[in-house]
Amino acid sequence: MLTEVTGFSPGAVPLLLVAYGAATVVGNTIVGRLADRYTIAVLLCGLVLNLGFLAGFALLADLSVPAVVFMLGVGLVGVTMNPATITRVQRTGNARPLVKTVRSSFITLGVMIGSWIGGLAISNFGLRAPLWLGAALAAVGIVTLLPDLIRRRAAAPEAAPAPSLAETA
């Protein structure tokens, strides 16, 4: 992608990947601090941003500056969602034995299936196809949060009405 579509020299790619890795470290630090207290909000925000960064990268991959900005955005919010997903899984499974192992197994399965589908997408639609696939999966991830968001909204207490003038006198 970076050499064939964006036009970077092969020598620039390691530097770009170091920058991507640095963005991932920053993202992990931020998400790690917020994941316990704001799990669903962090997941929702991260998925929405990831969808935008992936779609932006797919649309503007032939322009070097936007491509790098979107690539760094993916580094910032992509893999860095792990602390929030771990927190959500642990809470859902009530930290029972094997909960984390099952989560790790599904991540591995997702990497295997995603790599296979991504390879098919590249073969059939070109180098930008995995970015669109990732954006679609981010959209699916957002949909999976809807039950939690609806449940939280229903459980949130309604704001108390403002006191009337008679009550304050």
Give the pLDDT confidence of 12-56 residue by residue, as tens digits: 999 999 999 999 999 999 998 998 889 889 999 999 999 999 999
Spell out the domain ranges in the chain: 13-153
Check if the beta carbon of residue 67 is closer than 8 Å to that of residue 57: yes
pLDDT of residue 70: 98
The Cα 137–Cα 85 span in angstroms is 15
The Cα 104–Cα 110 span in angstroms is 10
**What pLDDT digit, counting tens, does each position of 50-97 carry?**
999 999 999 999 999 999 999 999 999 988 888 888 787 777 767 677
The Cα 167–Cα 163 span in angstroms is 6
Check if the beta carbon of residue 44 is closer than 8 Å to that of residue 138: no
Q: At what angle do helices 82-92 and 13-34 cross, to 10 degrees?
A: 40
pLDDT of residue 105: 86
Check if the beta carbon of residue 43 is closer than 8 Å to that of residue 84: yes
